[in-house]
């Protein structure tokens, strides 16, 4: 029995004239599902934090590298090296976006 079936049983009982309490097995099953969901979220929390930290570190490293070589960067921007720099910046922004999208759904569920 999954959550959808359990919810359907509860709604059917509530719609009946004489509502009944679910059986102890159903209550236990629901509690086990909730316990496993909380355990999974607790296990995955460090991974979510790690992704966010990795995105921040990538952005900081790229910004520090750009500031460190600012004089060379100005000369380089006028030549054909602009394309690899643009690709690097886009890859950092993409990784930051992916890390952020991994964090956002978890926060919306709570």
Region for 103 from its dihedrals, namely left if φ exceeds 0, alpha if ψ lies in -120 to 50, beta otherwise: alpha
pLDDT in tens, 20-55: 777 888 889 989 999 999 999 898 888 888 888 988
Backbone angles phi, psi at 50, to 5 degrees: -60, -40
| Residue 33, pLDDT score | 92
In the chain, % of residues over pLDDT 70: 82
Phi, psi dihedrals of residue 80, rounded to the nearest 5°: -75, -5
Domain boundaries, the chain: 3-109
* 61-92 per-position pLDDT tens digit: 988 887 888 777 677 666 666 677 778 888 88
Count other C-beta atoms under 10 Å from residue 55's C-beta: 21
- Residue 46 to residue 55: CA distance in whole angstroms: 14
Which residues, in sequence order, are CB contacts of 1 under 8 Å at separation 6+? Answer: 9, 26, 29
Distance CA 46, CA 87 (A): 29
């Amino acid at each position: 029995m999954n959550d959808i079936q359990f919810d359907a049983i509860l709604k059917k009982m509530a719609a009946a004239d004489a509502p009944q309490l679910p059986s102890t097995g159903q209550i236990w099953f629901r509690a086990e599902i909730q316990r496993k969901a909380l355990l999974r979220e607790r296990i995955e929390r460090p991974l979510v934090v790690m992704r966010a930290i990795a995105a921040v570190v990538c952005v900081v490293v790229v910004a520090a590298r750009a500031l460190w070589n600012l004089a060379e960067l100005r000369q380089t921007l006028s030549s054909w090296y602009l394309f690899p720099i643009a690709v690097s910046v886009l890859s950092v922004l993409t990784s930051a976006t992916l890390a952020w999208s991994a964090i956002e759904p978890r926060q919306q569920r709570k």
